[in-house]
């Protein structure tokens, strides 16, 4: 059940049986010469829809632009400042909380969002706890790329060529979701890794083609389907466990 394809009476009926909602969040940033700029949002949205179908959960609209300031030296990359993203999340949760939602499961596709999400949760609790006394809000992050089955499968498929950005696992998942948008390009056999992340200009100097230790040429749509199914299974379990916590 997708929020944007529902009517308000349908949402009101849903709230009679569940106060949980899944919110996909990703990023709009470069993913190397062959990775789609929307990779992180595409992955989060696809998996969120799968988890929603498996658990009968409502799935909110995808937050497509995340915290990716360090990628903005590459054309097409977009970012919100952490302070802006915090306000986007806080305002969104405030509106949903007024309607009666209390359990917010952010299905995340971008590592750069994690710190900002946790800060946003802290601000939201501080602002809304007085208004939800006796029925407090709970928020959590489910990072699809860190789920146990996905991590194990990625290592099995790609070994040390998985890397940490523009990875074959995330590229494979986009190939499964959008087979008509598969990209090819020459990739250097040497790829940098291990440099700390600071500003955008330094990031591009250290990682000139955008990859971080990865070989996305290994990706296939078939791999993407296996990774998708593993992620949906793991995160469906995580979502249901989250709903069951006090």
Residue range 172-192, pLDDT digits in tens: 999 999 999 999 999 999 999
Q: Which two tokens stand for residue 3?
A: 């929020």
88-117 burial, b at 16+ Cβ within 10 Å, e below that, comes to bbbebbeebbeeebbbbbbbbbbbbbbebb
pLDDT computed for residue 232 by the predictor: 98
Name the pLDDT band for 119 (thresholds 50, 70, 90): very high
Q: What would the mean pLDDT of 42-59 be, rounded to a whole number?
A: 98
Cα–Cα distances in angstroms (integers) from residue 225 to residues 21, 40, 94, 129, 160, in the given order: 24, 16, 35, 41, 21
Flag whether 136 is in a domain: yes
With tokens 């087979």, the residue in question is 179
Torsion 40-110-70-170 (CA) sign: negative
Q: Which two tokens stand for residue 97?
A: 């909380």
What is the maximum span of the chain, computed from C-alpha positions, in angstroms? 58
pLDDT for 131 beyond 80:
no
Name the pLDDT band for 246 (thresholds 50, 70, 90): low
Cβ neighbours for 229, distance < 8 A, ≥ 6 positions apart: none
Closest Cα partner for 73 from 214, 199, 166, 212? 199
Q: What would the mean pLDDT of 152-169 be, rounded to a whole number?
A: 98
H or E stretch covering 23:
strand 20-25
Q: Which two tokens stand for residue 102?
A: 């209390």
pLDDT computed for residue 38 by the predictor: 98
pLDDT computed for residue 239 by the predictor: 98
Say what percent of the chain tops pLDDT 70. 100
Flag whether 102 is in a domain: yes
Q: What would the mean pLDDT of 199-218 be, rounded to a whole number?
A: 98
Flag whether 245 is in a domain: no
Rg (CA), the chain: 18
- What is the torsion angle, in degrees rounded to the nearest 10, for the CA atoms of residue 61, residue 23, residue 25 and residue 89? 90
Q: What CATH number does residue 136 fall under?
A: 3.40.50.10310
Flag whether 146 is in a domain: yes
Among 28-37, 48-57, 122-131, the least confident range: 122-131
Helix (H, G, I), strand (E, B) or coil at 217: helix
Q: Report d(CA 34, CA 11) in Å as an integer.
A: 39
Number of domains in the chain: 1
Flag whether 246 is in a domain: no
pLDDT computed for residue 1 by the predictor: 94
Flag whether 243 is in a domain: no
Flag whether 95 is in a domain: yes
* Residue-range definition of the domain harbouring residue 140: 3-238
Helix (H, G, I), strand (E, B) or coil at 2: strand
pLDDT computed for residue 134 by the predictor: 80
Name the pLDDT band for 132 (thresholds 50, 70, 90): confident
Q: Which two tokens stand for residue 15?
A: 């709230």
pLDDT for 102 beyond 70:
yes
pLDDT for 133 beyond 90:
no
β-pair partners for 22: 59, 105
């Amino acid at each position: 059940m997708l929020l944007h394809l529902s009517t308000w009476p349908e949402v009101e009926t849903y709230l009679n049986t569940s106060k949980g909602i899944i919110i996909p969040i990703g990023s709009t940033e470069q993913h190397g010469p062959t990775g789609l700029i929307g990779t992180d949002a595409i992955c989060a949205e696809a998996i969120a829809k799968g988890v929603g179908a498996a658990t009968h959960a409502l799935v909110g609209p995808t937050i497509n632009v995340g915290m990716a300031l360090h990628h903005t030296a590459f054309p097409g990359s977009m970012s919100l400042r952490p302070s802006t993203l915090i306000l986007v999340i806080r305002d969104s949760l405030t509106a949903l909380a007024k309607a009666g939602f209390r359990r917010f499961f952010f299905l995340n596709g971008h590592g750069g969002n994690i710190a900002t999400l946790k800060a946003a949760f802290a601000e939201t609790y501080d602002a809304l706890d007085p208004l939800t006394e006796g029925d407090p809000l709970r928020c959590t992050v489910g990072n699809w790329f860190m789920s146990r089955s996905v991590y194990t499968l990625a290592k099995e498929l790609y070994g040390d060529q998985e890397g940490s950005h523009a990875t074959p696992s995330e590229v494979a998942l986009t190939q499964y979701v959008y087979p008509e948008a598969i990209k090819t390009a020459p990739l250097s056999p040497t790829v940098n890794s291990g440099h700390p992340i600071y500003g955008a200009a330094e990031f591009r100097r250290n990682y000139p083609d955008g990859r971080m230790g990865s070989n996305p040429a290994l990706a296939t749509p078939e791999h993407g389907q296996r990774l998708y199914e593993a992620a949906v299974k793991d995160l469906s379990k995580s979502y249901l466990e989250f709903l069951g916590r006090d």
